[in-house]
Amino acid sequence: MTQHRAWTEVNLDHLLHNVQVIHSLIPSKTKIMAVVKADAYGHGIEQVTQSLYQAGVTSFAVATLEEAIEVRGLLASVEILILGKTSVQEVHQLAKHRLIQTVFSVEYTQALALVAKASGVEAQVHIKVDTGMNRLGFAHHQINEIKEVFTYKQLRVRGIYSHLSVADSLLPEDVSFTELQLNRFNQCLDKLKGYPYGHTHVQNSGGIINHPHLPYDYVRPGIMLFGIPSGEVREVGLKPVIELKATIAMVKMIKAHECIGYGRSSSFPSPKRIATVTIGYADGYPRNLSGQSAPVLVNGQVATQVGNICMDQLMIDVTNIDGVIEGDQVILIGTSQKHTINMGTIAKKSATITNELACRLSARAPRVYRSSSKKEVKTFVQAHSHCG
């Protein structure tokens, strides 16, 4: 196998394990709608969607029309929901690729129906209800406006859903707000009795973990699929799917009080053995970890990052680790022997969330896919999407 300067390893067995965990949490009749936007949260949409499909997942959600068309090109028969806005002028693409579009306002619904009529096509839609996120969606009390969606002959309503804003928190006030959102959604459904609103879904990753037993038709796991949930959630046995690795390019001794890296930001009162690692912020490793003693793993032991993180390289202190040489592997996110550096730790240190950190990983860190069902490790060097 080609040795890359920096790479991510994607464990598809862990992905399938996480699917099993989700099934163990939710009601038996509830199905998974896998959210694979932003190139499957930086894990690679092609391999992820195909693995999920082989595991029995037949519903997917994405953010954009382009993502939806990509999934359709991979899987011909699955259900694909676009969570974000699509230009109404693209309604023919929605129909051509058998995609489901979210409708979220009176104006957008009217415009979509008008263009669909002019184009001679039918658009499949899910209705988005805003229960407190205050982003996209009909207000939960706009019952008459929601009922109007069913009057358009060019629109076929396939589902109705909402989104939870603090389901990944166990703070009492946040749990109360999640319950308020659920009550608002349920009241909306009660007032729509007799209307063929189709499938219902509310729970995102945090909602699945902290509120698993809700009686809706679908759940929408995103970051949870990859074993790196953000926020405050219960431990449910998820396994991280991705690891971030690089190699050591050089090891050198520096004298006491010598400085390291740009800005001469780090120095030590005693001599140190410093290793330069072949990864930097252009590969997706956060520059704002500079000076925070971020941990990495070398030969099964913990080293710390020193100096300012560069575009293509970073430096680590390996003074207390014997036998470190050029070519040794460095694990920036992952496990080695008894030590683990999880993405949540790195995200917290860099003042972000696991979702963003996973999406930051750039094309310079190609993905290596691992699966026990395949004899060979398959490597994909491809452009990665970024979360917007």
CB-based contact 348:246 (threshold 8 Å): no
CB-based contact 31:59 (threshold 8 Å): yes
Is residue 311 a known part of a binding site?
A: yes
Euclidean distance between CA atoms 102 and 37, whole angstroms: 15
Element (H, E) at 157: strand 155-161
Single-letter amino acid, residue 317: D
User: So which residues are the catalytic ones?
Assistant: 37, 262
DSSP state of 307: S
CB-based contact 41:34 (threshold 8 Å): no
Coil, helix or strand at residue 117: helix
- Which residues, including other chains, have CB under 8 Å from residue 52's CB and lie 6 or more apart? 15, 19, 34, 36, 60, 225
Encoding tokens for residue 5? 């300067």
CB-based contact 149:103 (threshold 8 Å): yes
Q: At what angle do helices 45-54 and 65-74 cross, to 10 degrees?
A: 50
Single-letter amino acid, residue 388: G
CB-based contact 70:51 (threshold 8 Å): no
Task: Indicate the length of the chain as a whole number.
Answer: 388
Euclidean distance between CA atoms 14 and 226, whole angstroms: 8
Is residue 135 a known part of a binding site?
A: yes
Euclidean distance between CA atoms 111 and 284, whole angstroms: 40
Element (H, E) at 25: helix 12-25
Euclidean distance between CA atoms 8 and 243, whole angstroms: 5
- Which residues, including other chains, have CB under 8 Å from residue 21's CB and lie 6 or more apart? 236, 237, 238
List the binding residues for substrate: 135, 311
Annotated binding site: which residue ranges?
135, 311
